[in-house]
Structure formats: C-alpha cells, structure tokens
Structure 1
Amino acid sequence: MRLVSGPSRRWRRGLTAVTALALATTGIVVAASQASAAAGCKVTYSVNQWNTGFTGNLTVTNLGDPITSGWNLTWSWSGNQQVTQGWNGEFTQSGTSVTVRNPSWGAALGTGASVTPGFQATYSGTNTAPTAFSLNGTVCTGAVGGTSSPTPGPTTPTPGPTTPGPGTGAKVDNPYVGVAGYVNPEWKAKANAVSGGSRISSNPTAVWIDRIAAIEGTEGSSSNGAMGVRDHLDAALAQGAGYIQFVIYNLPGRDCAALASNGELGPTELPRYKTQYIDPIAAIQADSKYASLRIINIIEIDSLPNLVTNVDGAAGTDMCRTMKANNGYVEGVGYALAKLGPIGNVYNYIDAAHHGWIGWDSNFSPSATLFYQAATASGSTVANVAGFITNTANYSALKEPFLTINSTVNGQSVRQSKWVDWNFYVDELSFAQAFRTELISKGFRSDIGMLIDTSRNGWGGSARPTAASTSTDLNTWVNESRIDKRIHAGNWCNQSGAGLGERPKAAPESGIDAYVWVKPPGESDGSSTEIPNNEGKGFDRMCDPTYTGNARNGNSMSGALSGAPISGAFFPAQLTQLMQNAYPAL
C-alpha cells in the first residue's frame, strides 16, 4: 500500500548546477568596536560550502546607539569570491570589496537589534573568510568603545545548517488563505490540448522536483517539461500569485516498495542529496526576489511511511530494510526541513500517506512517532513543519457519505468487510483530522494544519452511488455503498474509473489548511508496460492492467488503465476520464 511517483520537472536558467561531492561548514565570529564610546557592533559569519560555490550567513548586531537612517555593512575578500545573489539586504561588489545596504523595509537598527543578511557566491581555490567587518564605516569588535584589532576565531557549526530567509515577520497560520495559487503554464498547456481541458487548467497544481536536473531544467521541449525552479518562481511573480507549491522528491533509495517511482539516487547517496539537491533548492527559495510568495514544499512523499509498513513480513522489501537500517530517509527529511524551514516565506508539509496505508492501529501511531523522529533529525526542529499532507497522488475518497466506520450490517461491523479490512477509517477527511491529533500528541505544534490531495479522488460519473445499499450481505452492502470504486484500497496506479475531486480550496474543514491538487491531473503514475528511459523510472506491475496483484493489495487485480506512459509523463486519456467522472461535476 503506497503512494505514487511524481512527475518530472526541469529548469533551464538561474544558478549553475552544483556538482559538489561533499558539504563543508565553517563558522567564524569577527568583532570590533567603533572609535566612539557610544557605538559598537558584532558580526557572526558562517559558510555552507561546496567545491565551486557557497552560501554565507551573517548576523549583524548593533551594540551602540540606535541607527535610524539606514545601515551598511562592508568587508573585503582575500580571494576571488563573487556574490551572485543575496537576501535581507542589497548587495553590491567592486573587486574584492562587498557592501550590504539595508533593504527598504529595514533601515532602522536599534540597540541590541540584529539583522541577518545572507548570500550565495562562487569561488575557486581557497575560500578564506573575511577578517574584518565594518558597520556604517566603523570596524566591529563585539564591544562598545575601544580600538582593539579584530580577532577572528572558529566557532562550532550548528548541526544541520540552515539558510536564512527573506521574510522579516512571523509566518501566517495558513499559507493558502487569502491569496491565489500559481498555475503551472506547462501543465495548463497540456490540459488545454485535451478536449474540455480548459475547464480545469486554471487550477493551481504543484511543481515536482524529482531529479537534480529538475532544479535547473532544460532548454527545448520535453514530455516532462523544461522549466526549472527559478523559472516557476519568476512565472509565479508574473502571474501575481500568492503561493506556489513544490514537491521535494529525490531521497536516496526513494520509494523503496515500488519500481515506477524509484529515483536517481542510490541508498548510500545521502551526501549528494544534501549538497546537489537540497542546498541549491534552498538557495533559490531564499532569494529575496521571491519574498512576496508563500513557497509551499511537500516533503518527500512515499518514503517515510514505507519504513513502517514495508520492512517486515510479506510486504517487506530489501530496499526498505536497507533504508531503515542506514537511516537515510530520516536524516534526509530532517536535513531538508532544517535547510528549508528557516526561510521566512517557506512552509513545509511532510507526506503522511493515506488512510488505506496507515489507518490501522499497528501503523497509525508508529508512523506519527517516525515522523517526529525525522522532523527532529539533522538539526531540524518541529518549528520547521507547517503541517502534513495525506492522499498525495492517490485516490482515497475525501468523504464516504453512505458509509462510516460505525456502520453495521446484520450486527456485523463494516470493519470486518473485505474492503475495510479492519481499518479504523473509511475516508480521507476523517483520517487526516484524526492523524493531526495524533501528531500533536507526539510533539508537533498544536497549530499544524493538514492538506489533502483531491486531484483524483472524486469517483463520480454514473458509478457514484446515491444512497446506502439495501443488501443484507456485509461485503455487498459495503461495495454498493462506497464512493471509492477501486478494487482494493492499496491500488495506486492510474486507477480506472477515477474522477477529479474537490477543486483546490483553502480552509475547507477543521484542522485542514487546504484541499490541493499536488498531483497534476493527467500525469501518469507509471507505464502500463515496460518503457526504457533515462530517468530512473522502472516498470511496476501495479501499473499493468493484467496484473493479478501481490500481498500488499490482497492479491487483487491492479485496476490500472492501459496505454499509460512512464510516471510523470502526460496521459491525455487519463485526464479525459478524470473530467468525465469529476465530483463535484464540471
């Protein structure tokens, strides 16, 4: 019982792709005092470094009289470092000299107040830290008064280095409220090319970053799109969007219980995940150019829940056992949160599977415990988690109007039916609300919100029941009453008969931040037959309509559509079906 793979995205301009093999973190504190006894300042400087570039983080504290008419910080490099972008300040560079001036919204700097400018830069050779900084022309030593020379020295790096963000105020409780979502022009064009697609193509959908190459993108045309992360952010600004959604999806040994969504990184490539994937994404999202956007990250679907359900027993796989043993998923998710969470306008939602995956007691609480472990790994804290998302790229019905977990037939609980199979939930809304409560009990903040992916869980059309069954047979009653018409709740690939669900909507229910379309409708879950490709996408029999199943789906037929392309490629026939079966109807 798993979630599906996501589509592939690429980008073609912006930062140079990082080819680092390792991450080096250094830190120094440089301090000096102004000649005036009423002035003084302190600067803390740290670096996250790879072989051709680095990000620099500064904390500048005013120890003297309040500064009211603007501030500027200056320093000089001893090498060939070159700033390429910055945030929380206006950066200029002339030769080796760098100046950071206050942003328009932050001219004042009171006594004891701090600012946190940051930047990305390139270098070659040795990346030596500056030895002195000056605030408004006065050298900083960390004290008020005195003329002592700066005395740089190493500091202990904080575990799980983070990138400062462009935002200056507190984050909003629900990033979906009151603003319009970004409409991906690549998906919009594909949807418009399908008859009737213009009825839905203006809905916001998520952008999937499922490979390192997807960060930068590619020139020219591609079945999976050519735009990169910065391209999409620029397009969102041009649209006047208030939020944009990205799927962070490239863990080593990704989605260990399936083949269609396996990724490019092997189980031991966590360092590469950090330096070549997460670090560049964080640097782009932290660009102050995008400070007006609420950037929403869906963190690593599929993988963490597999460590609960697909390690032991008949459903276990060797890859899942490997990823549990090496802690790669937990450390990878923690690192992503630690890097992305502190950015002032970024909101992270961790994938939380769906009710047909972890709705049993044996999975429900252990999953929440594991998610807390990941959220506090690699230097992260729960403060980096805005919430969780369920049903990502899946088909579980939002609500079952004629079937509840308390329903009985001839004195038999529906939990005894073949469909429910002793699960404690029959739909996604009740599961998401209950799981939120469980997560809070494990240590997550009480203000976390849930998202539910409703892009393909409408189950409408002529097959939609209009009332509860009148049968006296338990299994017949359940099958005739339920909205979700899958053969088995564990079926996940290109499901035949599915429809579009609720349109994207903010704050629809208690504890739910939004209904979202994270899986763009019409993008395939996996190929119906084996299709060779260079994207790491394997052939999974769960996408084969002739497959008779396995232990994870009760040895049931797959229920998949025929003629599907590889995961992430556009599948017009599926979009046509989704529109035909949409609920609410189009």
Structure 2
Amino acid sequence: MSGQLLRRLRTAAAAAVLSAATVLPIAMAAPAAHAATKVDNPYVGAGVYVNPEWAAHAAAEPGGSAVSNQPTAVWLDRIAAISGSSSSMGLRAHLNAAVTQAAGKPFVVQLVIYDLPGRDCAALASNGELGPTELPRYKSEFIDPIATILADPAYANLRIVTTIEIDSLPNLVTNAGGTATATAACDTMKANGNYVNGVGYALAKLGAIPNVYNYIDGGHHGWLGWDSNFDPAVQLLHQAATASGSTVANVHGFIVNTANYSALKEPYFTVDDVVAGQPVRATSKWVDWNRYADELGYAQAFRQKAIAAGFDSGVGVLIDTSRNGWGGANRPTGPGPTTSGDAYVNGGRIDRRLQAGNWCNQSGAGLGERPTAAPAAGIDAYVWVKPPGESDGASSQIANDEGKGFDRMCDPTYTGNARNGNNMSGALPNAPLAGHWFSAQFQELLKNAYPPVSGGGGGTSDTTAPTAPTALKSTATTASSVSLSWTASTDNVGVTGYDVYRGTTLVGSATATSYTDSGLTASTAYSYTVKARDAAGNVSAASNSVSATTASSGGGTGNAGCTATYKVSSDWGAGFNADVTVTNTGTAATTSWKVTWTWAGSQQITNLWNGSYTQSGKAVTVTNASYNGAIAVGGSTAFGFGASNSGTNTAPTLTCTAS
C-alpha cells in the first residue's frame, strides 16, 4: 500500500442520580469563577457530571464499580434524545441531575452534539436519522431545542461543554473531493455545504449562551496527521467556525481522538528515530510518513496551527482517553528490535491495533488516563467523551429505528479496505448497535486499562505512592524558557511519568527526568516542583522547589548564530514535502531566526508549518513562528513545507541568520 493512499486514512437502565460529584485533580491557585463568567479552562477547579445511566451499567459489571464514578459525556445523537423516553433520560433530566451533583460548586456537564444531515458520510455504523439535504430540520428540530434548554436560567451556573459534530469536517478532508478514499456520500456533503453550515449554525446558536463552551472535532493523528491533511483540516475548521453567522469567538477549543483508540503517548519511539540509516517515518508501514506518533503531540501541534490560522490564542484541546490505554499482557515495555523500521515500531508501539485506521470495538484496547484537568501544556483536560462499554457499531446487520447501518469495519471477519490498508478490522465479535451497552467490550477495557484499575480485573491494586523526585534543578534558561532535570522516583509498580508544576499550576508532563517549560516572560523568576505518577495511578509528594530566572530579551552577552539543513521527506514528481532543521550555532540563545534561499527550478511553496514564509519568484524567506523563535545554545527547531514542482527538484543552498 502506497504512502500516498495510506496518508488519507479514515478512522472514525436508568438509575438514581448520584449525589457525589467527581472532581478532576488539579492544583488550584484561587477559587474558581462563577460558571456564568467564562473561564479560560472550564475543567479547572470544577466537578464533572457523572451520568447515572452509564454509571449504573458500569457498576453492574464485575469490577466496574472501580470506575463507575468517572465522568462521561451525554450523547445527543438523534432528535428523540433531547426529550428522552420512559427508559432513558432526556437533556433536561441530565441537566437537573448535574445541578444536584454540583451542589452549588463549579461544575461541568459534557454533551456531544451529533446529528448532522448525512452524518458520518464515510461510515455506516454511525449514520444518522437526517438525510443529506435536511439542514433545515437539523436547525429547527435539533439545534434550536437544545439551545432553548441550555439557555434556561436554571442551568446558568453549570459549565456546559459541547463537543460539536465529531467525524464530520475531517471526513471532508480525507474522504471527499477526489481523494483516494472518497465516498459518494462525502462528496455530496462537501458539495452541498451542509456540514460546514450545520457546524457553523450549531456554534453560533450554542456559543451565544454565556456558560456554553464549544469544542469542535480535530480528528486524531492517525487520520489527519499527514502534511497533506493537517493544514487543510485546520483551514476547513476555520471555515466552519465563520459560517452561518458564527465567528471564531464561538470556539473555545478542539477535541481529538473522540471515540477512538490512538495512544496518548508513544514512549518507545518517535517518527524521527533512525533505524538502519533511515527515519522510521519513511520505513515503518504503521507510521507511513505521518508526522505524529500519538495524540498528545498531535493535539499540541494542532492547537498551534489553529492559532496561526486565526483561532483565538487561548483555545485549548480536549483528548478523549476513554479507550486508548492499551495495557495488559501485550503492552510493550521497551523499543522494538532495530532490524528494520517495521520491527522497531511494531515491537515498541503502545497502540496494538492492526492498523491506525481501525476504529470499531477494538480487541485488546483498555481504559486510558482517567479524566483529569489541565494535564499538559495547551490541553484543557483528558476526558471520557465516549462512554466505555458503549458499542461503536454492530458486528452484523441489526434492524433498528435509529438510522444506524451495518459497517463491515465492525465485523471481526472483515479483511479491510483502502482506508485501513486492507487489514483485518480487529473488531470484537457479537457487538450491538452503536451506543448500546456492550458488556464484553467493557470487560476488555477494564482488563487492559492503563494506568491499571485497582480491583478492575487484571490491574494492580497497589496503593503505595512513588517516592518524591529528588535533586530538581534548572539546567538552562533562555528569554522564554526554563529547562529542568531531576532524579527518578522509585515505586512498587513502576513510575509512568512526572507532572511539572510552575508554582501551583500544572504546566506539563514528562516520561523522562527532564522538561522544558516554554512560552515564558523574559527576566522573570519562576518556581517549580515535580511529582511522580505510577502505573496504579498513585501520585508522589512534591519534589524540592527550585527557582529560575529567564534571560533578558536581548539574549545575554553572547552572539546569536544559526545554520539550516534541508531534506526532502517525500517527492511524487508534481510536488514534494521538505523539512528544514534550524540549529543555534552561536554563544547565546536566539530570540528569532530567518532562513532564506533561491530555488534553482520552478518550485512553489503551497503550505508551510512551524513558521511564516514569503516567496517572490524563486526567492524564499522563512521566519520563525511565535512559539519557536527561542533556541538554546546548541539546540534546534524545525519547520516543514509542501511545494509544487514542474521541473528538476534541485536542493537549494540555505542561509540562516538569528538574533
């Protein structure tokens, strides 16, 4: 299967109301603001709604009570879900239950808004009730009633987080308009504009409510992580955010990996690791030229690209970690063999799917990180938007009145298609309709949870916290960053990572014993501590505190200097992608850099990431982005671009200057 094809992957009862709210762990510097006043991160300092219907299902499973108190999202996936029925709670019932759980404290309730006309045009399992042309019904019978309920003053103190129409806009990028995996249904939705206009209408209508926080779908790294998909996806999201009377102000952030299985972090390989003299990005079929290996790196890069495209600089990202833990006996403990790129990546990757395009009821999957507020830079929260144990789709045809079809990707005997590289589907057998309770899947997720679930049927029940990290120190500073290192903690079941705090604010996480905090203010003193986490979810006491002062904006008394190296990463004749690495060769940290060159042929840049460019004829100038101008002495950063070409693709000579 060619890289050109694979880079266009598509992955796509009631119980008594619980009285105790689940509060996401976060260090708080001050009391949270009233919910009616918009806050930067709605999850910080807030409880989050535990859906009593999901909690009852989970608690009824063996070992399920260990996680039944976790917050999950409420899915509004058809018009009837708004009012509910005698056997299921409607929107008002959930909001009333959330008010009770909140008990007057800051509180988040999570909703999935999911009923676009011609919904999920590249999959059958999640097809919806509205036809491709029924945008008026979507507005008047679905979005308008939801908005009316959410605007009720009875719910004004809730922080209402809405996930807007997953799988819609990403499908228009990869599965419409002449792509190798296009479908007729996606071509229709791209042509009639109802996805873009429907999302814009939902954003405008719901965004007008003061305590609603809209997050729009950014796919996941195994869907949009290729250069040919990444920029177009961000541009399409911006188009939708400014359609039907909406503005980017109605977008509080993005969500990635919704209802999917992509690993949060791949600790044992990166796409730039070199095996047998070549980067695995070029030689591993799993990576296949993707620029990202996991969701955290993808999410942070997506956020930066969105800001550069015109979204607000304060946007955050949610990552759905409900089913991406990949623990259990098959979880790798180190890198794979270095005999080939495939062996290295396949032997060390946490994500154990047969192919990153597989999305339906995946065998071997486990619960991922528990819902947590502000776990890393730019990330508003890890969330469980897809309730674990709710099916992705039926394994065989099941008659229903919910508009849900049979998708062969949910059939464990299916041998695949172009979107998943013609691999087996990897789906569990005997699955019910999408959204219905699937006991066997829940048990699989519980058994393979990572971090393990105490008492969850296969996880460790260890309750001993790791020792605190020691010898925390500052190893380097620039005008905008502080680099830290520390001595590793010891633990009974193994340390899985470290959380870094600036004062009382969690600013990032690391799997190694070092971290660089960036985006800081010059000539400013900062104080840091670090805590360790283990495989059972225990957290250590804080390390010693260390203070560090960033350099002046002038970069000190040294001289700034840089070099730039150029490498073509892929070339298909009419066009190519290239990467440029900028290295600080001076004696002081840089605050900005510029790379220039003159093409020998007719090359023309079409898109560029991690920088800004101008091209006049054959002359090209690239300057740093707002976030990568500061390079420590001896350090490097990189930018990349796509270009068209109608002649000889001779590598240019690059000139780099820095200040």
Q: Is TM-score (shorter-chain normalized) higher than 0.5?
A: yes
Larger radius of gyration: 1
| SS class of match (2:204) | helix
Question: Does the residue aligned with 1:463 lie in a helix, a strand or coil?
Answer: coil
Change (3 A) 1:213 1:169: closer
Please show how residues 373-392 of structure 1 align to structure 2 within 5 Å: 373-392=239-258
Does the Cα contact within 8 Å between 1:454 and 1:515 map onto a contact in 2?
Answer: yes
The share of aligned pairs that are identical, in percent, is 68
Contact 2:337/2:343 (<8 A) preserved: no
Counterpart contact for 2:249–2:312, Cα < 8 Å: yes
Please, which of 274, 280, 300 is the counterpart of residue 433 of structure 1?
300
CA contact (8 A) 1:256 1:303 kept: yes
Residue pair 1:3, 1:301 contacting (<8 A) in 2 also: no
Amino acid aligned to 1:330: V
Q: Counterpart in 2 of 1:292?
A: 157
Alignment counterpart, residue 344 of structure 1, candidates 210, 215, 218: 210
What are the equivalent positions in structure 2 for 1:61-460 lying under 5 Å apart? Answer: 170-219=37-86, 221=87, 226-240=88-102, 242-311=107-176, 312-416=178-282, 417-460=284-327
In structure 1, what is the Cα distance between the partners aligned to 2:336 and 2:183?
A: 39
CA contact 1:2–1:353 (8 Å) conserved in 2: no
The residue type equivalent to 1:415 in the other structure is R
| Distance of 2:382 and 2:452 partners within structure 1 | 16
For the 8 Å contact 1:455–1:503, the answer to whether it is kept is yes
| Structure 1 residue 314: Cα displacement | 3.3
Residue type at the aligned position of 1:559: G
Amino acid at match of 2:326: W
Report SS of the residue matched to 2:260: coil
TM-superposed deviation, 1:169: 5.7
Contact preservation (8 Å) 1:298, 1:389: yes
What count of residue pairs does the alignment treat as equivalent?
421
1:501-541 superposed Cα distances (whole Å, 9 cap, x missing partner):
00000000000000000000000000111111110000000
Contact 2:11-2:356 at 8 Å conserved across structures: no
Q: Which residue of 350, 368, 374 maps to 1:483?
A: 350
Residue 347 of structure 1 aligns to a residue in which SS? strand
Could you tell me which residue of structure 2 aligns to residue 533 of structure 1? 400
SS at match of 1:462: coil
Offset at residue 470 of structure 1 (A): 2.9
Asked if the contact 2:207/2:213 (under 8 Å) is kept, the reply is yes
- Offset at residue 197 of structure 1 (A): 0.4
**What are structure 2's unaligned runs of at least 5 residues?**
1-8, 15-33, 454-659
Residue 444 of structure 1: how far off its partner (Å) = 0.2
For residues 113 and 84 of structure 2, the distance between their equivalents in structure 1, rounded to whole angstroms, comes to 15
Gaps of 5+ in 1: 10-166
- The answer to whether the Cα contact below 8 Å between 2:397 and 2:406 also exists between their aligned partners in 1 is yes
**For the residues of structure 2 that align with 1:325 and 1:518, how far apart are their CA atoms?**
30
> Aligned in 2, Cα 1:3/1:188: closer, same or farther, shift over 3 Å?
farther
TM-score, normalised to structure 2, is: 0.63
| Ranges of 4+ aligned residues in structure 1 off by more than 4 Å | none
Letter in 2 for 1:308: V
Question: Displacement of 1:356 after TM fit?
Answer: 0.2
What SS does the aligned partner of 2:48 have?
Answer: coil
Residue equivalent to 1:515: 382
1:412 offset after TM fit, Å?
Answer: 1.7
Deviation at 1:472, TM superposition (A): 1.4
| Structure 2 equivalent of residue 567 of structure 1 | 434
- Are the counterparts in 1 of residues 410 and 427 from structure 2 also a CA contact under 8 Å? yes
- Structure ranking higher on relative contact order (CA contacts 8 Å, 6+ apart): 1
**Displacement after TM superposition at 1:3 (Å):** 4.7
Specify the code of the residue in structure 1 equivalent to 2:140.
T
The amino acid across from 1:433 in the alignment is Q
TM-score (norm 1): 0.71
Render the CA deviation track for 1:544-578: whole Å, top value 9, x for unaligned: 00101001011111000001001000001101010
For 1:124, the equivalent position in structure 2 comes to: none
Q: How far off its partner does 1:250 sit?
A: 0.3
Q: Which residue of 2 aligns with 1:68?
A: none
Q: Separation in 1 of the partners of 2:424 and 2:287?
A: 17
Instruction: Tell me, yes or no, if the aligned pair for 1:256 and 1:262 is still in contact at 8 Å.
Output: yes
Number of the residue aligned with 1:556: 423
Output the amino acid matched with 1:269.
E
Cα distance change on mapping 1:277 and 1:169 into 2, 3 Å: closer
Distance 1:398 1:266 in 2: 35
SS at match of 1:450: strand
| 8 Å CA contact 1:524, 1:569 repeated in 2 | yes
1:344–1:554: structure 2 CA closer, same or farther, 3 Å change rule? same
Aligned positions of 1:34-53 closer than 5 A: none
The answer for the alignment partner of 1:492 in structure 2 is 359
Post-superposition CA distance 1:111-165 (Å, at most 9, x none):
xxxxxxxxxxxxxxxxxxxxxxxxxxxxxxxxxxxxxxxxxxxxxxxxxxxxxxx
Structure 1 residues 291 and 527 mapped into 2: Cα distance closer, same or farther (>3 Å)? same
The answer (yes or no) to whether the contact 2:35–2:159 under 8 Å persists in 1 is: no
CA contact (8 A) 2:389 2:442 kept: yes
1:240 CA displacement: 1.6
Asked if the contact 1:3–1:392 (Cα under 8 Å) also holds between the matched residues in 2, the reply is: no
State the alpha-carbon separation in 2 of the partners of residues 414 and 582 from structure 1.
28
Q: How far 1:409 moved relative to its partner?
A: 0.8
Partner Cα distance (1:2, 1:303) in 2:
11
Q: Deviations over 1:271-307 (max 9, x none)?
A: 0000000000000000010011100000000011000
Give the one of 443, 464, 469 matched to 2:336: 469
Judging by fraction of residues, say which structure has more strand: 2
Deviation of 1:168 (Å): 9.2
Who is 2:409 aligned against? 542
8 Å contact 1:392–1:453 — kept in the other structure?
A: yes
How many Å separate the matches in 1 of 2:65 and 2:36? 38
d(CA) in 2 for partners of 1:269, 1:388: 26
| Contact kept in structure 1, 2:35 and 2:156, CA below 8 Å | no
What is the deviation of 1:405? 1.7
Question: Residue 505 of structure 1: which of 355, 358, 372 is its match?
Answer: 372
1:363-421, CA deviations, whole angstroms, 9 ceiling, x for partnerless residues? 00000000000000000011111000000000000000001122111112111210001
Q: Which residue of 2 aligns with 1:97?
A: none
| CA offset digits 1:176-214 (Å, max 9, x no partner) | 010110000000000111100000010000000000000
- Match of 2:179, SS state, is coil
Alignment partners' CA distance in 2, 1:487 and 1:576: 20
SS of structure 1 residue aligned to 2:117: coil
Other structure's SS at 2:47 match:
coil
Q: In the aligned structure 1, how far is the partner of 2:174 from the partner of 2:202?
A: 23
Distance in 2, matches of 1:322 and 1:186, equals 36
**Equivalent position amino acid for 1:389 in 2:** I
Given residue 444 of structure 2, which amino acid in structure 1 is its aligned partner? Q
| 1:46 corresponding residue in structure 2 | none
